[in-house]
């Protein structure tokens, strides 16, 4: 027999329970809010990463200028080379953080040998928008010239990062012109003021006939890291066309006067990597590091 208390409980539940229509309305509202909030959260995440990216490059610029202040206003030697001065050497991609070997007894093969005094956390040397951080980033930074990847049999391994380092670097521009990275903080004749930038390139050996970058862009796929190189984003080979469209990417670069600025991929200037020390001859198409796309204020 139903008691008065049971009847009151049923009546209360009937008054407070959701109807099916009410439940569907609530679900619809939640879905709508999620649809509005998720893109906003994604944009906020991208902005936060870009701020960190700019901060990283600011630290690198500051470190390079501190090194110059401590060394007669001279910037470090570039480590983006291969070979030795007594036999033959040529330039490599400016993303190299540790070269194959010392170019000469008076130079280092690792960026950290020059800047490690001013930058202790290797995360500051790595693009936050890259697909993933290099597994041995901190270890290779701390090891400097002594870097040896524990997963290889080689005794002196190179390491390619995600930023481009331009101090002391020479490359091939169009019409026989040369790119000359800064060698002194007060500048030199014909030298650029560019110290560091995000990496954007084309026809790299890891992704031939494709764009490659540390910055993510539309329809980009991940090129996984190797024992020598960090992971990148790549456009992949064209399917229906022999010509690729420049990806729309916002990148950053740092200069000798200490400022860091953003630039668009559409504003970039192509630089080919040179196979001669003086920057007079570039790698042939389809071989080697390909083209590096420089900021407009090179």
- The answer to the question of residue 5 being in a domain is no
β-strand 221-223 against 194-198: which pairing, if any? unpaired
The number of beta carbons lying within 10 Å of the beta carbon of residue 254 is 27
Give the model confidence (pLDDT) of 34-81 as tens digits.
777 666 566 667 677 778 899 999 999 999 999 999 999 999 999 999
Q: In this structure, is residue 4 part of a structural domain?
A: no
Cβ atoms of residues 220 and 235 within 8 Å: yes
Output the pTM of the full model. 0.84
On whether residue 185 sits in a domain, the answer given is yes
The answer to whether position 96 is within a domain reads yes
Residue 10 maps to a domain: no
Sheet holding 221-223, edge to edge: 178-180, 170-172, 269-272, 291-294, 200-204, 207-213, 232-234, 221-223
* Domain range for 78: 38-294
Taking residues 135-158, what's their average pLDDT?
Answer: 92
Number of domains in the chain: 1
- pLDDT at residue 31, rounded to an integer: 75
Q: Is residue 28 part of a domain?
A: no
b or e along 19-39 (b: 16 or more beta carbons within 10 Å of the residue's beta carbon)? Answer: eeeeeeeeeeeeeeeeeeeee
User: Shortest CA distance to 293 belongs to which of 258, 253, 257, 255?
Assistant: 253
20 part of a folded domain: no
| Residue 88 belongs to some domain of the structure | yes
Q: Quick one: CA torsion of 84, 89, 93, 98, rounded to 10 degrees? A: 0
Task: Identify the pLDDT of residue 155.
Answer: 77
Query: Could you tell me if 188 and 182 are in contact, meaning their C-beta atoms sit under 8 angstroms apart?
Result: yes
Backbone angles phi, psi at 156, to 5 degrees: -145, 100
């Amino acid at each position: 027999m139903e008691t008065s208390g049971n009847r009151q409980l049923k009546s209360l539940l009937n008054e407070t329970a959701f109807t099916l229509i009410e439940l569907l309305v609530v679900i619809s509202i939640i879905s709508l809010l999620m649809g509005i909030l998720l893109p906003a959260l994604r944009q906020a995440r991208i902005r936060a990463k870009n701020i960190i990216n700019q901060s990283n490059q600011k630290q690198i610029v500051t470190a390079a200028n501190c090194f110059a202040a401590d060394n007669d206003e001279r910037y470090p030697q570039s480590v983006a080379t291969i070979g030795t001065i007594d036999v033959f050497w040529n330039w490599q991609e400016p993303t190299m953080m540790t070269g194959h070997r010392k170019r000469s007894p008076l130079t280092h093969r690792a960026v950290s040998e020059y800047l490690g005094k001013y930058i202790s956390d290797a995360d500051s040397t790595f693009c936050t928008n890259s697909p993933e951080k290099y597994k041995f980033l901190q270890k290779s930074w701390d090891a400097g010239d002594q870097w040896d990847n524990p997963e290889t049999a080689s005794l002196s391994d190179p390491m390619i990062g995600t930023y481009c380092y331009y101090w002391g670097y020479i490359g091939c521009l169009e019409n026989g012109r040369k790119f000359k990275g800064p060698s002194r903080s007060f500048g030199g004749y014909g030298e650029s003021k560019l110290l560091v930038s995000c990496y954007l390139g084309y026809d790299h050996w890891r992704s031939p006939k494709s764009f490659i970058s540390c910055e993510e862009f539309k329809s980009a796929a991940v090129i996984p890291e190797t024992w020598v190189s960090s992971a990148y984003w790549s456009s992949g080979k064209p399917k229906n066309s022999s010509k690729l469209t420049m990806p729309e990417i916002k990148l950053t670069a740092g200069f000798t006067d200490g400022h860091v600025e953003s630039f668009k991929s559409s504003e970039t200037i192509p630089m080919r990597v040179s196979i001669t020390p003086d920057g007079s001859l570039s790698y042939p198409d389809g071989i080697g590091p390909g083209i590096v796309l420089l900021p407009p204020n090179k």
